Chains A and B, each alone.
Chain A
Amino acid sequence: MSGNDINRRDFMKFMGLGGVGAATLSGCDMPTTITLEEGKEKVVAYLAPEEYAIPGIGVYFASTCQQCPSGCGVHGRIREGRLLKLEGNPKALNGRGLCQMGQASVQSHYNPDRIMQPMARKGGSLQPVSWEEAWQIMGEKVSGVDQGRSAWFTGTVSGHQSKLLDALNQAWGSKEHYVYEAVNNAVGEAVNEAVLGDAVPAYRLDKAKSILSFGADFLGTWMSPVHFSREYVKFRTGDRGVLVQVEPKMSLTGANADLWVAARPGTEGVVALGVANVLLTKHQVNGNSLTKAALDLIAEYNASKVTEISGVGGDSLVRIANYLKDNSPSLVLSGESANNHANGYQNAMAIMMLNVLLGNVGKTIEASNSMAFKDLKAKRGNSRALLDFAKAIDAGKYDVVFFMGANPVYTSPSHLGFADKLAKVPFKVALSMFLDETTLAADLVLPLSSPYEEWGTTVAPYQPKNAALSMSQPLMNPLSPETKSLGDILLSMLKHHGVAGYAGYDDYYSYLRAALAGMPASVKAGKSGDEFWSASVQRGLINAPSSPGSLKIKLGDIKQPGYQANSGFPMHLVPSTNQNMYDGRNANLSWLNEAPDQVSKVFWDSWAEVHPKTAAKLGVKEGDFVKIESDQGAIETQIYIHKGVHVDVIAVPIGRGHEEYGRYAKGVGVNPLKILSPAEDAESGELASYATRVKVTKTGHSADLSRLGGSERQVGRRLVSTVAASVFRRVEGA
């Protein structure tokens, strides 16, 4: 606690309960006699505390981090009834590690800008109301809605909450559940599904000896970064593997690569074809696994053509091919910059073709384990949901919309006119912890408890080996008794609707207990219901038996468009994602605002990264403001110059530029997502967020860039010393 400001009321209570208060404090304007009866709850709590509440001793309880969709298991340290710190759950996929977003999720829990009670729109603005009133409004607006006229718009959901949500939707006769994540791997998943028959196979980084990643920032934001970081270490130690990263803007993974190659956004597929070309021609790799059409296409993409389209030099292609050939087995990944483009599906397909050509499927790409409970599986988010939803509300399809875990008003490009379209929906309910842009547009706001105040189960979207259900349990009493967990709200709604089978549960906790007790014996491993419950809560994980799946290989067509210069808008905009602000949900956490971006080291603001050559051409230096203008609008931000950006690219990180969302987020930086051009991936219908062309002009303003660190070079000192991999393998190799 800060300072010595003992809350006066607490002090009074203390004194009153001790029996001396009446004598010493008479004359004060406070009720000075608090009888033992009145204060019983508090007194008894201290006299006979919970088993864990040992004053001065921190105790750890398992729960699940919800700060990003990865669903890492955590241990929360509790002392005197307060959650103090989070650590990774060693039994979970993330091990004892946790990323900075997970570490900062306590700040989300204790955030000063949390919504502490329900709010309803009255006379144009949101006013605090009681839960009774909130339910009453819900009853009025929602009960009469026709079948199919309501929809849910959420982020990634899984576990029993997801099950309840399905049940509710079913009861309403509406199947409309849009699952949206601004940062997603939907295109890659579509290709995986098409080629391998498994949308999220297991990527065995630990087995690979070389990794070629096309913009997959698996150490930062891609799928399950903490898990991949652990696998990365296995990949990097012993007989050390080689990491090559091809992307338009250096990501955290790119910064750790042995070879970082700059490619124009959207040309990753071409680079993949070029690499395949070298592998087939120079290394005589057997191309039997590919179709004739594919081989013909590869033959077309010789080095000079690839260089012309992608900007990747022929020598780089040869180096990449050599690494892949010499360090087998290899693994080729496609990430955001490759996928989120107008030809994203084709890029991902070409990249998958490399995996097929190199024979990685089955070696470093394994089938995920199919889980016992299909209904608990994570509903993975994509951006197509946003486009579909925008179309649907524009057409006036819904009377009631529920928002939860997504902030589309903030993340949607301005060409969608999302806010205006949303205004057409008569009644919008937001289940939220914070007054973000979407919540503020709602008519009814139901305050959610934080992930560390509620019961729940989570199934991580990425389930590489042992399928697991991660438990959430309240780590402390809710900060506000007026907040409710998603599970409780859904259960109340189900009960209100009179859906059969839910009336017997007092709250979500009892539902969850019953649900776990009802799990098959194979999951419970012979334990009784109560035993199984305690074990699950204690471990934080339920390992479900799973059957190993299998992968097929059915490579689709690979088409690649040529590179077209756009003279009006000569540069590419890269709305990069970093493991800090993520998709903007972390902008209200002061720790993460103050934590510098890993690559640029900029804090508390947005910035635009350009290559030194580009900067020279634009006539800008670090800290100069530039105007980045697309056909949809313009943003202004400061320049940071480094050689980890393609010369034709200007990269602006997403996640800042909130108009609302609390004191730490509001008005800080710019939001590049707003100026995205309308473009979609033709095959998957995903938003092509990397397809925007921009024109960059100097504004003439300049200010110091908020960047940590003085010199960016070591000036000859041996601070970070580098040794060659060959030496490492000789000395420390397995």
Chain B
Amino acid sequence: MQTKDINENIAWAKINEDVLRSMENPRMGYWVAVVCCVAMVMCAVAAEIYQYQVGMGPANLNWPHMWDLYIATFVFWIGMSHSGTLLSAILHIIQADWRKPIYRFAEAMTTFSLMTAGLFPIIHLGRVWNMYWVLPYVSDRGIWPNFRSPLVWDAFAITTYLTSSALFLFIGMIPDLAICRDSARGWRQKLYTVLSLGWQGDDRQWRNFRKIYLLMACFLIPLAVSVHSIVSADFAMSIMPGWHITTFPPYFVAGALYSGCAAIITLFILLRYFFRFDEYMTIPILEKTCKLTFAIAMVWSYLNIIEFAATWYGHDMVAKELLIAKFVGPHAPYFWMMLFCGSVLPFTLAFEKLRRHLPTMFVVSLFLNLGMWLERWMIVTPTLSFSYMPFAWDVMWPSMVQWAIVFGSFGWFGLLFLVFVKVFPSVSMYEVKEMVFHRRHYHSSALANQFHRRASDPKPGDEPSKEGA
């Protein structure tokens, strides 16, 4: 049984070779995946064009369901974006070096899920063509957005987060882009030349790189937490039962990390399988990710229980009615499905045998994310169905237009990811080398952790680093 996070004897050149190989010569399967994703996106595009022309009616939005899957899926994708930040920023700061082989794709996931999430508030607008009005642009009429509105906060938070996480992804990739540049030909060479910003791997560059990377990491963590808190404010700042809940910010952040981790497991297994990254994306690393996911799942479940208990024992009868409606009402199957996926299924992660079984983990991770998607839906919709005015109670199921756009968003995300893995290294070469280097020298992850801070600096007498060369 493999117990080490990474094989210490792996050759530098092999790392480069393996990773660069993953970027070349797309095989049949890749193109099939691309075609599938494009088809999914086309479904969404067709639906959106229809909706744009006709209005929001065909989406089966109604009075009182002014929001539905669009907003739920928006929150879902925003949540997904927390994976990258967790792995690259938080784990970077707490010096968990097992993150190194897998953080790159997680970061890409962050950026792409934000790019997906950002589409939804736009798609859901009744008058899309005026979407820029939520931004405080300089208008000759002196009209500003309403800074009291959580939707405006959303716009700020998401654009900031998207910019920062894209920058973070890019900055972290510079040394690897330099490697790519050195072995690439044609348009790729030109692209990497521009993108690697003249990286030579000299001492000054490394020092500055370390500084900016740490700075960005420190900047991103509060940002990530605030982004999802702000998204939760869309609901928590309202006065609706089931939305107006004090625990929503931590609940949303926990849920975000949860779905992010689950998505990492999914993509981990896919990349390991298709790109034969067995030596980098090792089972022990997967196990660690699973353990982390399990811990977050428990936090999430705990926050759920708090929410239910606070509502159940509280004095807000309408909120309690809504909770009961969730338990036994028309949405109950989805609600229990969400609880099963979100709170029961993660217990599979507690068993080592299951954790190490890739197909099981693949399926489980998909279900965890299904649960998290259902969670968002169960936050948005039942509140709208059953709120203060009984006369306005209604149950409305989303139409094919909504489903097509939600479905297409997965295609869009997949497409971005597929492009990414062929254009950019999806495993961080230099950091894997770093990791191997440390393991080689200390033969113990514990020691590596202990000395990590210094270890990142080249030691006197050591072989000079060949990274980036």
State the CA gap A274–B406 with chains docked (Å): 67
CB of B321 within 8 Å of the partner chain: yes
B392 and A710 contacting across the interface, CB-CB below 8 Å: yes
A715 and B321 contacting across the interface, CB-CB below 8 Å: yes
Shortest distance from the beta carbon of A384 to any chain B beta carbon, whole Å: 43
State the CA gap A460–B262 with chains docked (Å): 76
A709 and B317 contacting across the interface, CB-CB below 8 Å: no
Closest to B385 in A: A710
Which of the listed residues B321, B390, B392, B393 has the most CB atoms from chain A within 10 Å of its own CB? B390
Taking CB atoms and an 8 Å cut-off, the chain B residues in 357-406 that contact chain A are: 388-394
Shortest distance from the beta carbon of B328 to any chain A beta carbon, whole Å: 15
Interface string of A692-728 (1 = CB under 8 A from B): 0000000000000000011111111101000000000
The total of chain B residues at the interface (CB under 8 A) is: 10
A710 and B321 contacting across the interface, CB-CB below 8 Å: no
Shortest distance from the beta carbon of A604 to any chain B beta carbon, whole Å: 16
State the CA gap A721–B9 with chains docked (Å): 80
A716 and B389 contacting across the interface, CB-CB below 8 Å: no
Shortest distance from the beta carbon of A599 to any chain B beta carbon, whole Å: 15
Q: Which residues of A contact B393 (CB under 8 A)?
A: 709-711
Interface string of B150-162 (1 = CB under 8 A from A): 0000000000000
Task: From A709, A712, A717, give the contact of B388 (CB < 8 A).
Answer: A717
A709 and B321 contacting across the interface, CB-CB below 8 Å: no
Q: Which residues of B contact A717 (CB under 8 A)?
A: 318, 388, 390
Shortest distance from the beta carbon of A647 to any chain B beta carbon, whole Å: 27
State the CA gap A715–B320 with chains docked (Å): 12
State the CA gap A711–B388 with chains docked (Å): 11
Shortest distance from the beta carbon of B237 to any chain A beta carbon, whole Å: 23
Give the size range of A's interface with the partner: 10 to 19
Shortest distance from the beta carbon of B241 to any chain A beta carbon, whole Å: 12
B317 and A711 contacting across the interface, CB-CB below 8 Å: no
Shortest distance from the beta carbon of A700 to any chain B beta carbon, whole Å: 23
State the CA gap A719–B389 with chains docked (Å): 8
The SS class assigned to the A binding surface is loop
Shortest distance from the beta carbon of A706 to any chain B beta carbon, whole Å: 13
Q: Which residues of B contact A715 (CB under 8 A)?
A: 321, 390
Q: Which residues of B contact A719 (CB under 8 A)?
A: 389-391
B317 and A710 contacting across the interface, CB-CB below 8 Å: no
B317 and A716 contacting across the interface, CB-CB below 8 Å: yes
Shortest distance from the beta carbon of B116 to any chain A beta carbon, whole Å: 34
A711 and B321 contacting across the interface, CB-CB below 8 Å: no
Shortest distance from the beta carbon of A721 to any chain B beta carbon, whole Å: 14
Q: Which residues of A contact B391 (CB under 8 A)?
A: 709-711, 719
Shortest distance from the beta carbon of A267 to any chain B beta carbon, whole Å: 35
State the CA gap A76–B392 with chains docked (Å): 34
State the CA gap A709–B389 with chains docked (Å): 10
State the CA gap A714–B388 with chains docked (Å): 10
State the CA gap A715–B387 with chains docked (Å): 11
Taking CB atoms and an 8 Å cut-off, the chain B residues in 389-432 that contact chain A are: 389-394
State the CA gap A716–B321 with chains docked (Å): 11
Task: From B317, B318, B389, B390, give the contact of A713 (CB < 8 A).
Answer: B390
State the CA gap A710–B394 with chains docked (Å): 5
Closest to A716 in B: B317
Q: Which residues of B contact A714 (CB under 8 A)?
A: 390
Closest to A708 in B: B391
State the CA gap A37–B317 with chains docked (Å): 75
Taking CB atoms and an 8 Å cut-off, the chain B residues in 275-300 that contact chain A are: none
Taking CB atoms and an 8 Å cut-off, the chain B residues in 312-365 that contact chain A are: 317-318, 321
Interface string of A349-389 (1 = CB under 8 A from B): 00000000000000000000000000000000000000000
State the CA gap A350–B390 with chains docked (Å): 43
State the CA gap A710–B64 with chains docked (Å): 10
Closest to A601 in B: B391
State the CA gap A295–B321 with chains docked (Å): 57
Q: Which residues of A contact B392 (CB under 8 A)?
A: 709-710
State the CA gap A713–B394 with chains docked (Å): 14
State the CA gap A714–B392 with chains docked (Å): 11
State the CA gap A717–B390 with chains docked (Å): 9
Q: Which residues of A contact B321 (CB under 8 A)?
A: 715
Closest to B317 in A: A716
State the CA gap A716–B316 with chains docked (Å): 12
Closest to B386 in A: A710
Closest to B64 in A: A710
Q: Which residues of B contact A709 (CB under 8 A)?
A: 391-393
State the CA gap A447–B388 with chains docked (Å): 51
Closest to B391 in A: A709
Q: Which residues of B contact A711 (CB under 8 A)?
A: 390-391, 393
Closest to A715 in B: B390
State the CA gap A713–B388 with chains docked (Å): 12
State the CA gap A417–B394 with chains docked (Å): 44
Q: Which residues of A contact B317 (CB under 8 A)?
A: 716
Shortest distance from the beta carbon of A423 to any chain B beta carbon, whole Å: 46
Q: Which residues of A contact B390 (CB under 8 A)?
A: 710-715, 717, 719
Interface string of B35-69 (1 = CB under 8 A from A): 00000000000000000000000000000000000
State the CA gap A710–B386 with chains docked (Å): 9
State the CA gap A117–B393 with chains docked (Å): 48
Which of the listed residues A710, A711, A716, A719 has the most CB atoms from chain B within 10 Å of its own CB? A710
State the CA gap A417–B150 with chains docked (Å): 67
Closest to B318 in A: A717
State the CA gap A717–B391 with chains docked (Å): 11
State the CA gap A714–B389 with chains docked (Å): 8
Shortest distance from the beta carbon of B291 to any chain A beta carbon, whole Å: 45
State the CA gap A715–B389 with chains docked (Å): 9
Interface string of B211-250 (1 = CB under 8 A from A): 0000000000000000000000000000000000000000
Shortest distance from the beta carbon of A633 to any chain B beta carbon, whole Å: 36
Shortest distance from the beta carbon of B409 to any chain A beta carbon, whole Å: 30
Shortest distance from the beta carbon of B49 to any chain A beta carbon, whole Å: 22
Q: Which residues of B contact A713 (CB under 8 A)?
A: 390
Closest to B394 in A: A710
State the CA gap A711–B64 with chains docked (Å): 13
Closest to B393 in A: A710
State the CA gap A65–B154 with chains docked (Å): 54
Closest to B388 in A: A717
Q: Which residues of B contact A710 (CB under 8 A)?
A: 390-394
Shortest distance from the beta carbon of A707 to any chain B beta carbon, whole Å: 11
State the CA gap A713–B390 with chains docked (Å): 7
Q: Which residues of A contact B318 (CB under 8 A)?
A: 717
Shortest distance from the beta carbon of B60 to any chain A beta carbon, whole Å: 13
Q: Which residues of B contact A716 (CB under 8 A)?
A: 317
Interface string of B78-105 (1 = CB under 8 A from A): 0000000000000000000000000000
**Extra A-B contacts (17), CB below 8 Å, given A709-B391, A719-B390:** A709-B393, A710-B390, A710-B391, A710-B392, A710-B393, A710-B394, A711-B390, A711-B393, A712-B390, A713-B390, A715-B321, A715-B390, A716-B317, A717-B318, A717-B390, A719-B389, A719-B391
What are 5 sample pairs from A and B whose C-beta atoms fall under 8 A apart? A710-B391, A710-B394, A711-B390, A714-B390, A717-B390
Q: Which 3 pairs, one residue from A and one from B, show the smallest C-beta to C-beta distance?
A: A710-B393, A711-B390, A709-B391
B-side interface residues toward A, CB under 8 Å?
A: 317-318, 321, 388-394
